[in-house]
């Protein structure tokens, strides 16, 4: 891990847990909880710090200092790092950073 973690969540079912982290540099990282192996990383999920991270069923929502709120599909985050993941939806820019 090369960056300061700003938010994290544990997701999945018993035996298949993952840790999803958001960072100050705007990346999302997905790790397998038991082994600690990095599954995928989206280095430019936001262009500034991600301040908040929420998970609901198969959706991951990130909000950042860049005033953007982005929705990701969890299954897409399980892709390999050489296949770039893209956000599913982006809400318009807020007046101030998302906290």
Question: 86 with 77: CB under 8 angstroms?
Answer: no
Walk along the chain (99 residues) in steps of 10 and give the mean pLDDT of each run.
87 88 94 92 91 92 92 79 64 70
- pLDDT of res. 94: 65
- pLDDT of res. 18: 92
| List of domains in the chain | 5-91 (2.40.10.480)
- pLDDT of res. 80: 53
**Judging by beta carbons within 10 Å of its beta carbon (0-12, 13-18, 19+), is residue 2 exposed, middle or buried?**
exposed
- pLDDT of res. 65: 92
Residues in CB range of 74: below 8 A, 6 or more apart:
11, 55, 58, 59, 60
- pLDDT of res. 84: 58
């Amino acid at each position: 891990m090369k960056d300061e973690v700003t938010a994290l969540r544990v997701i999945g079912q018993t035996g298949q847990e993952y840790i999803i982290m958001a960072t100050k540099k705007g990346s999302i990282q997905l790790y397998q909880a038991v082994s600690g192996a990095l599954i995928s990383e989206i280095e430019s999920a936001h262009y500034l710090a991600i301040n908040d991270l929420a998970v609901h069923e198969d959706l991951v929502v990130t909000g950042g200092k860049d005033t953007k709120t982005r929705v990701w599909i969890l299954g897409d985050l399980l892709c390999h790092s050489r296949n770039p993941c893209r956000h599913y939806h982006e809400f318009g820019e807020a007046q101030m950073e998302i906290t």
